[in-house]
């Protein structure tokens, strides 16, 4: 007899994982429901809004936002690229879930939106319950730190598609923003200040190059290579409630060149160079690539850029410091001549 399990798919292991997740999420809901991380009026109590979550065919979320004049849903999806290869190599899944959540949540907040809930997709060749639980624990903790409910997901065992210990993951985040409070290029003005929030390292970008550079020394540089992507949700929500923010740019694939996405045609960002963190100095030395190539591939130590009204910049930096985010002024917004680039380095 040839059954599903002999063909490589263990249905019982998948059921056991769902049961574990349902129990752990139920306990988390009880612990968190009365004391959420954020207390601002525009941040809903996301735990109490989950009507039906993990375990059904679909998840249900209460979408009433009476305090908003025109609520607009915000959606993002992303993965963590070939960083999954290093998590697999080290058999360490303790941070990759945070990478996944951060890549979605950090995009979502750039609209001025507030995250609501998250779904994950986790695909493997052979389901290992310990690895899957470690991954999902990381996802759950990152969701809670990003004020999102982990409302559902999918775990797929796919022998023949993923070999040995290979796996992949994808994330899906949904949030909300009042239409009249959406950030973007329409708000950016001449004279605005650009604040850069420090990254925790490589985040989840450039790993095809990084794996090539450090291939023979993975163990030596493990801490650099596995450091999870920094979460910026708390910073964004605090800034939104206290200062006049015009735009944000999540610095990911494509590096600093992501900034033009939030600039109007008639304005440019004049950026001053900052000192590269040690990990990037090492990468540039080994890869022998130019400053511009570094900026087009990596975040170079700045994971989020905030375009803010000049009068609020100094106070915002102090507020970010109080929240535990290191930040600095990295540039200004200025008029752009027709054929000039949107980003100029000084």
Catalogue the E-assigned strands of 28-148. Answer: 50-52, 60-61, 71-79, 114-124
> Is 3.90.1170.50 the CATH classification of the domain at 11-181?
no
pLDDT average, residue stretch 335-341: 92
Paired sense of beta strands 71-79 and 167-178, if any: antiparallel
CB 61 within 8 A of CB 49: yes
Average pLDDT of the chain to the nearest whole number: 88
- Residues 330 and 272: their CA atoms lie apart, in Å, by 6
Residue 145, pLDDT > 50, answer yes
pTM: 0.87
CATH class of residue range 193-345:
alpha beta
The reported pLDDT for the residue numbered 17 is 55
Residue 72, phi then psi, degrees to nearest 5: -120, 130
- Residues 12 and 156: their CA atoms lie apart, in Å, by 13
The DSSP secondary-structure symbol of 342 reads S
Give me the DSSP letters along 213-256: HTGGGTTTTHHHHHPPPPP-HHHHHHHHHHS-EEEEEE--TTGG
The region of weakest confidence among 125-129, 235-239, 253-257 is 253-257
The reported pLDDT for the residue numbered 301 is 95
Q: Which residues pair with 124 in a beta bridge?
A: 157, 167
SS3 content of the chain, % helix, strand, coil (to 5): 40, 25, 35
Distance of CA 264 to the CA centre of its chain: 24
Q: 5: pLDDT confidence band, cut at 50, 70 and 90?
A: low
Q: Which sequence spans correspond to the domains of the chain? A: 11-181, 193-345
The reported pLDDT for the residue numbered 34 is 32
- For the stretch 254-272, pLDDT in tens is 767 789 999 999 999 999 9
Residue 43, pLDDT > 90, answer no
- For the stretch 214-224, pLDDT in tens is 999 999 999 99
- For the stretch 286-323, pLDDT in tens is 999 999 899 989 999 999 999 999 999 999 999 999 99
For the chain, report the end-to-end CA distance as a whole number of angstroms.
Answer: 70
CB 264 within 8 A of CB 186: yes
Residue 30, pLDDT > 50, answer no
- Residues 18 and 133: their CA atoms lie apart, in Å, by 10
pLDDT average, residue stretch 122-149: 95
For residues 303-338, b (16+ Cβ closer than 10 Å) or e, as one string?
bbbbbbbeebbeebbebbeeeebebebbbbbeebee
Q: Tell the residue number behind the tokens 């000049």, with chain if given.
A: 310
More confident residue, 60 or 264: 264
Read off the tokens for 22: 């349902």
- Residues 11 and 328: their CA atoms lie apart, in Å, by 51
């Amino acid at each position: 007899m040839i059954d599903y399990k002999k063909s490589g798919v263990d249905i019982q292991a998948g059921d056991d994982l769902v049961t574990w997740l349902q129990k752990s999420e139920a306990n988390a809901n009880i612990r968190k429901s009365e004391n959420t991380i954020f207390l601002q009026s525009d941040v809903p109590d996301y735990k109490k809004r989950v009507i039906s979550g993990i375990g059904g065919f679909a998840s249900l979320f209460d979408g009433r936002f009476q305090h908003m004049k025109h609520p607009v849903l915000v959606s993002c999806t992303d993965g963590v690229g070939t960083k999954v290869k290093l998590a697999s190599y080290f058999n360490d899944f303790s941070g990759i879930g945070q990478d996944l959540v951060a890549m979605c949540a950090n995009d979502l907040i750039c609209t001025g939106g507030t995250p609501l809930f998250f779904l994950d997709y986790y695909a493997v060749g052979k389901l290992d319950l310990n690895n899957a639980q470690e991954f999902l624990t990381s996802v759950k903790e990152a969701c809670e730190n990003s004020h999102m409910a982990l409302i559902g997901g999918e775990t797929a065992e796919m022998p023949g598609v993923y070999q040995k210990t290979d796996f992949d993951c994808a994330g899906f985040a949904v949030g909300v923003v009042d239409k009249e409070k959406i950030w973007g290029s329409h708000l950016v003005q001449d004279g605005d200040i650009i604040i850069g929030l420090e990254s925790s390292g490589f985040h989840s970008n450039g790993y095809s190059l990084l794996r090539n550079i450090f291939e023979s020394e993975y163990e030596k540089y493990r801490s650099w290579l596995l450091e999870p992507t920094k979460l910026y949700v708390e910073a964004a929500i605090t800034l939104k409630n206290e200062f006049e923010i015009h735009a944000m740019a999540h610095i990911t694939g494509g590096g600093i060149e992501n900034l033009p996405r939030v600039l109007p045609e008639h304005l440019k960002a004049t950026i001053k160079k900052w000192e590269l963190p040690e990990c990037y100095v090492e990468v540039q030395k080994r890869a022998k690539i130019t400053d511009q190539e570094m900026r087009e591939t990596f975040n170079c130590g700045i994971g989020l850029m905030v375009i803010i009204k000049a009068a609020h910049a100094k106070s915002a930096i102090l507020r970010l410091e109080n929240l535990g985010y290191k930040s600095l002024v990295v540039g200004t917004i200025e008029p752009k001549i027709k054929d000039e680039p949107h980003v100029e380095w000084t």
